[in-house]
Amino acid sequence: MEVFFATTNEGKVTEANEILKKVKLKILKEDVPEIKSIDEIETIVEKAKAAYKMFQKPLIVEDTCLFFSAFEGFPGTYTKFAVRTIGLETLLEMLNGKTRNAKFITCIAYIWGEEKFEVFQGIMEGKITENLRGVSKPGLPYDSVFIPNGFDKTYAELGDEIKNKISHRTKAFQNFEKWFEKKEK
């Protein structure tokens, strides 16, 4: 089964295709307008609607948020913006002397009509390191600073094989795949 994925982040598509067993994602490489809301569900639903208007075909969109326990709701839906504007090192410095607990939430929306959509989530709790550990892939900068609960290495240090078995994105895409298989039958 093939599903279109509207994103400019090829790293996300590669990772998702490594996770999925029965669904193959095909990239629609276009920047989809994204509202900025502190609510990740509202953000992903509006992004899905915008993508559907652009392409007029069933597709998925994905957004991943990182939440620092020390700063309620931050960077949240501004995760990518925070790295681009102030940088990963500055974000790490902001946590000095504070709790380094954090959680990733991946939201996926599958949309097949203007008001026909379903949202899936995957959550992984963990800690933020004090410095970069391992090399993150392009488009996935937080992999070198996030240690998932139950591990002592960052996603980047764990490598794709382990990360793709446990991550927030894995959980979200597995939830989507289970639902999609039932829907298509």
Question: Beta-carbon neighbour count of residue 77 at 10 Å?
Answer: 25
pTM: 0.91
Dist CA 143 CA 140 (whole Å): 6
DSSP secondary structure code for residue 83 in this structure: H
- What CATH number labels 2-184? 3.90.950.10
Interval 136-179: pLDDT, tens: 887 789 999 999 999 999 999 999 899 999 999 999 999 999 99
Per the listing, tokens 């959550």 go with 123
Output the six-digit token pair for 35. Answer: 């509202």
| Angle, alpha carbons 43-55-5 (nearest 5°) | 60
Q: For the stretch 126-152, what's the b/e string if a residue is b when 16 or more beta carbons lie within 10 angstroms of its beta carbon?
A: bbbbeebbeebbebbbbbbbbbbeebe
42 has a pLDDT exceeding 80: yes
Which sequence spans correspond to the domains of the chain? 2-184
Which residue is catalytic, options 31, 39, 63, 152? 63
Counting residues of the chain whose pLDDT is more than 70, the rounded percentage is 100
| pLDDT-derived band at 35, boundaries 50, 70, 90 | confident
* Residue partners of 149: CB distance under 8 A and separation at least 6: 124, 125, 126, 127
Query: If DSSP codes are grouped into helix, strand and coil, which group holds residue 109?
Result: strand
Interval 73-106: pLDDT, tens: 999 999 989 999 999 999 999 999 999 999 999 9
* Residue partners of 129: CB distance under 8 A and separation at least 6: 92, 100, 144, 145, 146, 147, 154
63 classed as catalytic: yes
Residue 93 is predicted with a pLDDT of 96
Q: What is the mean pLDDT of the chain?
A: 94
| pLDDT-derived band at 47, boundaries 50, 70, 90 | very high
Residue 183 is predicted with a pLDDT of 84
